[in-house]
Amino acid sequence: MRQTIFWITLGLGVGTVACGGSPKPATNPSTSAATSEPAPKWDDSSESSDNARHPVFSSSSPPSAANDQGWKPSGAPPAAGSPAPPAQQRRTDSYDKEATEVVLRRAARQVKDNCGSAKDENGKAAGPWGKTVVVVALGHNGHSKGASIGSPFDGAPTGRCAIQAFSSLTYPPWAGADTTVNWEVDIATPKDAK
């Protein structure tokens, strides 16, 4: 904190010296309008060629959206006469495919990394292994309502593991009806079962 105050004080002192000494006292604009001197005009004719090449330091009008330096002002309004870009509207009657697929891919990675070594009642990883499809029930409230898997994985430890990975997903909700998604998974064969 002390260091910050030091730098602010130093900056004000240097700025005061650089600007010609002590600042003028503030005046009320309504009473001194007739007696005050006119404000100096900005003269950009003496602009250095170095500043002319850098739009950030240039005193000319704001640069176009794509100038020769590739600089684009952020949050700047569109140029006069150009139409405003259309606002992207997300559909609310169906699920957000992009955001939901991120969650589904994560669950599929969990299946591939973990479910191949799921053990049966005897403590053995007995499979089956390979690629299959998990049918995921997506609730419109943003939570999965369960999953199912086809034969021969149905009822097997590897299949139960895959169903569990997809049964408690969270994703953006939507206003439409619930839906189902078929998602391919790979239940990898564990190294000790080969």
Higher-pLDDT residue of 88 and 111 is: 111
Euclidean distance between CA atoms 112 and 190, whole angstroms: 10
Euclidean distance between CA atoms 84 and 63, whole angstroms: 17
Residues in Cβ contact with 66 at an 8 Å cutoff, skipping those fewer than 6 apart: 72
- Token duo for residue 96: 């957000």
- Token duo for residue 7: 């730098």
Q: What is the DSSP letter of 156?
A: S
Q: pLDDT tens digits for 44-84?
A: 544 444 444 444 443 444 444 444 445 445 555 556 666 66
Q: pLDDT tens digits for 150-183?
A: 999 999 999 999 999 999 999 999 998 999 999 9
Domains of the chain and CATH, by start: 97-193 (3.30.2420)
* C-alpha closest to that of 153 among 128, 181, 136: 128
pTM over the 0.75 mark? no
